[in-house]
Chain A
């Protein structure tokens, strides 16, 4: 049984959120994971909007800080849930997928540390935003779809769980 982050899950379901970055084709058919992905996309989108807004850097800092705090906590929680799901269906790509997750967690933590040292580092955050955007889209549109394809092939689709 994968651990439910019901509070996070409900946030997405309760609000009728329009997430520009999200596309229905990203859905895996695993309700918990799909809800977490939508939450992740929603937060990244808010982050990017703040990061790219025409306001001064000082005005952007509160949203930047909020997103970094969220990412440090939520990315770890979500990756853990996704990995538990992979184990539960004996997904053969588990080890490789976990390595990709671990690398991203390390990157987020490393950027956070650098940012905390000098929180006026706008170039660092712009670089982080660009990489995060491309990484997230590829990961959900490509890597995670392999899990869904495997589950479907094995007849263990997410809706059964």
Chain B
């Protein structure tokens, strides 16, 4: 299952976006050069049989579009409301991945999502057994996903 983590995260993102945002056209490609503006970077730490973190990078326009779809309201800037809603989505995607992993006897838990300023990356130089990044493309904008995990 750990070798398939990339796909597990993409599938979970696709399912959550489909159910919550009614987005069905979602594609992905590996890549480390995700250019995030002053958007929302959310880190979800993983503990248990796998340890590390997953970072979701939501550019401003993607974040605002996501919250607009959910609420039916217009949002002009990334504020506390938008950040909190986006963090919860990252939390939900991560939770769904951990549920999938538990079916393969990998027992993990997640810590509450934490917002990071773009560019702020305290764990950038740490060594990870599994380190992969990708871009997820949707009709409302791109999202960056960075997975960094070690087997315990």
Q: Which of A's residues lie within 8 Å of B, judged by CB?
A: 20-21, 48-49, 51-52, 123, 126-131, 133-135, 137-138, 141-142
Contact = CB atoms under 8 A, between A and B. Distances in A.
Interface string B53-85: 000000000000001001111000001111111
B71 A126 contact: no
Contact of B80 (A21, A48, A127, A141): A127
B134 interface: no
B72 A21 contact: yes
DSSP majority for the A interface?
helix
Contact of B81 (A126, A138, A142): A126
B81 A134 contact: no
A128 B19 contact: no
Contacts of B149: none
Given A52-B71, A127-B81, 14 more contacts: A20-B72, A21-B71, A21-B72, A51-B81, A123-B80, A126-B79, A126-B80, A127-B84, A130-B67, A133-B85, A134-B20, A134-B85, A138-B89, A138-B92
A55 B147 CA distance: 42
Nearest to B89: A134
25 contacts: A21-B70, A21-B71, A48-B71, A48-B73, A51-B81, A126-B79, A126-B81, A127-B84, A128-B84, A129-B81, A130-B80, A130-B82, A130-B84, A131-B87, A133-B71, A133-B85, A134-B92, A135-B88, A137-B20, A138-B16, A138-B20, A141-B19, A142-B16, A142-B19, A142-B20
Nearest to B74: A52
Interface string B111-133: 00000000000000000000000
Contact of B84 (A21, A48, A131): A131
A87 B132 CA distance: 42
Given A20-B72, A123-B80, A131 B85 contact: yes
A48 to B, nearest CB: 6
A137 B83 CA distance: 16
Contacts of A130: 67, 80-88
A20 B80 CA distance: 22
Contacts of A131: 84-85, 87-88
Task: Indicate the member of A129, A134, A138 with the most B CB atoms within 10 Å.
Answer: A134
B24 to A, nearest CB: 14
Contacts of A49: 73
Given A138-B20, A138-B92, A129 B84 contact: yes
A142 B19 CA distance: 7
A137 B52 CA distance: 28
A21 B22 CA distance: 13
A131 B127 CA distance: 33
A75 to B, nearest CB: 16
Nearest to A142: B19
Contacts of B72: 20-21
B40 to A, nearest CB: 11
